Structure 1
C-alpha cells in the first residue's frame, strides 16, 4: 500500500498523516446526529475496531481463563499466581505479535512509520541492558504485569467474597451495557488526569521520565513505566468500587488499560493487512506527545487537551501554537524570576 496516498515525509523523513487529528463528531456544534451515529458504530469509529477488540479480549479472558468465583472468594497463592502467569503470557503474545511483525520481520518496512528509524538500529545509550526493547520488556513483565495483576486479584476477590455487590445484566441491562460502553471514556479521563500529574517537575524526573526515554516508541514501550506510574495507571479500575458494576466491567477496565496501551505506542499510522487494506492505529496523537512531551496528554476521545490548550493536531499550525505556548511560559518564568 502506497503511504503517499495518506501522508507525506518531512525533511527528516518522519511520516506525517495528511488529515489533521480531529475530535470525535460528538463534540461538533451544531450537533450532527448522522455523523455521530456513524462514528459510534461504523468502521474506524468508537466501537470498531479497537474497543471491540479490547472488549473481546476481556470477555474471552473472563469466560475462558478466569478461575471460578468460589475459588477466588479466598485469597490463596494458587489462583493468584495463575492470574500473574496468565497475564504475563497474554501480554507477551499480544505485544510480541506486533513487535515481531512490524519491528523484527519488518513486514511493511518503514511504510507509515512515524519515525523511520527502528529502535534497535538507533542509539541505545541510557537504556537498561543496552537495549530499548529489553528495557521495555523488563519493566512490562517485572513491574507492569505484577501491579496490574495485584489490582485484578483484589477486585475479583472483593466481588467473589461478597464485599462488593454485583450488578448483573438481568438486574439492570441498560446500565450494564451503558457502563461497559463508557469505560473507554472513563479510562481516557483518568489517564489524562494522572498523566498531567506525573508531568509535574519532580514527578516527571522521578517517575515519568522512564517512560519518556522512548522517544521513538514501539509495542513494548506501551507498559514500560516506573512502578509508581503503573500503580497510578491501573488505578483506573477503582471506579468499580464506587459505581455498581460486574466483574466483567472491572476486567474490561484493566485489560483496556493493559492491552489498549499498545495503540498509542505502536509507532505506525497504519498496519498494512493487504495490498489495498490497512488498519488505522490512531497512534499519531500520542506519538506527538512522545515527540514533544507537552502536548496531547490524552488521545482526543475526551477533549481536555483542547480545553487546557495542550492540543496538537499534527499540522504546522499546531507546531506554531505549541511554540507560542512555550514562549509565553518562558516569558512568565523570566518575569517571575
Structure 2
C-alpha cells in the first residue's frame, strides 16, 4: 500500500499522516448527531471490543473461584501472573515479530524510519532498547499489573467492596463499561502529568522516555512507581460502585491497550488492501516532544483544555514552541530573581 496517499515523508524517511489529530465529534459545536453516530463504531471497534473480549476470556477461564480468592496466596497470584505474561508475550510479541523483526511492511506508515535494534544506547540495559524494555515489562510492570488484579479480585471476593450484579444493575454497569475508556484517559492524564514534574520525571518517568523511538516492548517498560500508578486505574472500581468484570476491563484497557500508543506505525497492513488504525500518533508525538499530549485520544480532551495538545500540524508545532518559549522566559526570570 502506498503510504504517501495518506501522509508525507521527510528527508530522514520519517512518515507523518496528512490528517491532523482531533477530538471526538460530541465535543464540537455546532453539535452534529450524524457525526457522533458515525463515530460510535470507531469507538467500539476494534480496540475496545478486543479488550472486552480478553476480559471475558479472563473472567470465565482464568480468574479462580471466588472461594479461592477469599484467601490471599501465591498460588493463584502466580497463576494470574503467568497468564498475563504469556498473553503479553503473544500479543506484543506478535506485533514485534511481524512488524519489527520480519518488517512485513518495511517503514510504510512508520513514524520514525529507524528501528530500535538499529540504535544501541548506554541508557538501556545491555545497550539494547528491546532487551531493556522486555525485561522491565516482564519483571517489573506485569507483576505490578498482577498485584492490582489480585487486590481488586480479593476485595470483591471478601465483600470488602460492593459487588453489583448485572441482573439488578445492568443499566448502570453497561454505562460504566462504556465510560471505562474515559476513566482510563482521565487517570492516565493525571498520573502522567504528575510524573512529568521535574523530580518525578528524573527518578521515575525518564525510564519510559528513554524509548524516544518506541516499539511494542516499550509499552510497559516503566519504573515500578509508574508501573503501579498506571495499572492502579482499575482500583477506581473499588471506589465507584461496580463489578469485578468491569474492573478487569479497566485493567485490560491499560495493560493490553498500552501497545496502541507505542506501536510506532499509524496503520498496520493486514492485507494488500486493508489496514488497521493503531491510534498511536498522539502518544508518539508525546515521546517525540515530551511535553505534549499527556492524555490519550482526546475522548476527554484534557490536553486541549490545559493547552498541551499537539495535533501533528505545523500550527501545532508553532503553539508548542510558543509555550516552550514562555516556559523558558519564566525560568529565566526566576533564575534572575534568585
CA contact (8 A) 2:120 2:127 kept: no
1:241 is matched with which residue? 238
- Structure 2 residue 330 is the aligned partner of structure 1 residue 332: yes
- Helix, strand or coil at the partner of 1:256: helix
- The superposition leaves residues 255-282 of structure 1 with CA deviations (integer Å, 9 ceiling, x where unpaired) of 1100000000000000001111100111
C-alpha displacement at 1:5, in angstroms?
1.0
Count of matched residue positions in the alignment of Structure 1 and Structure 2: 334
Deviation by residue 1:121-148 (Cα, 9 ceiling, x = unmatched):
1233321022101100111011111111
- How far is the alpha carbon of 1:19 from its aligned partner? 0.3
Which residue number corresponds to residue 92 of structure 2? 95
1:37 aligns with 2:37: yes
**What is the DSSP-based 3-state SS (H/G/I as helix, E as strand, rest coil) of the residue aligned with 1:243?**
coil
2:131 alignment partner in structure 1: 134
Query: Pick from 286, 290, 293: which aligns with 2:287?
Result: 290
> 1:252 maps to which residue?
249
Alignment partner of 2:65 out of 40, 64, 68: 68
Shift of 1:237: 1.2
Question: C-alpha deviations, 1:148-167, integer Å up to 9, x for none?
Answer: 11111111111111222211
Local SS of the residue matching 1:171: helix
Which stretches in structure 1 are left out of the alignment for 5+ residues? none
Number of the residue aligned with 2:51: 54
Aligned to 1:106: 103
Match of 2:176 in 1: 179
In structure 2, which of residues 187, 191, 195 is the aligned counterpart of residue 190 of structure 1?
A: 187
Structure 1 residues 62-71 or 130-139, which shifts more? 62-71
Per the alignment, residue 207 of structure 1 pairs with 204
**Aligned-partner Cα distance in 2 for 1:125–1:74:** 44
What is the rounded CA distance, in whole Å, between the counterparts of 2:236 and 2:119 in structure 1?
41
Structure 2 distance, partners of 1:314, 1:326, is 16
In 1: Cα distance, 2:193 partner to 2:229 partner = 12
How far does the alpha carbon of each residue in 1:214-238 deviate from its partner, in whole angstroms, 9 at most, with x for none?
0000000000000000111111112
SS in 2 for 1:16: strand
TM-score scaled by length of structure 2: 0.97
Separation in 1 of the partners of 2:289 and 2:12? Answer: 15
Alpha-carbon contact 2:187-2:233 (below 8 Å) kept? yes
1:309 aligns with 2:310: no
SS at match of 2:166: coil
Name the structure 2 match of 1:24: 24
**Contact 2:213–2:287 (CA<8 Å) still a contact in 1?**
yes
Partner residue, 2:167: 170
Q: CA deviation at 1:56?
A: 0.8
Shift in Å, 1:94: 1.0
Length-normalised TM-score, structure 1: 0.97
- Write the distance in 2 (CA, Å) between the matches of 1:25 and 1:174: 24
What's the RMSD between the two structures over aligned residues?
0.9
**Larger CA deviation: 264-273 vs 58-67:** 58-67
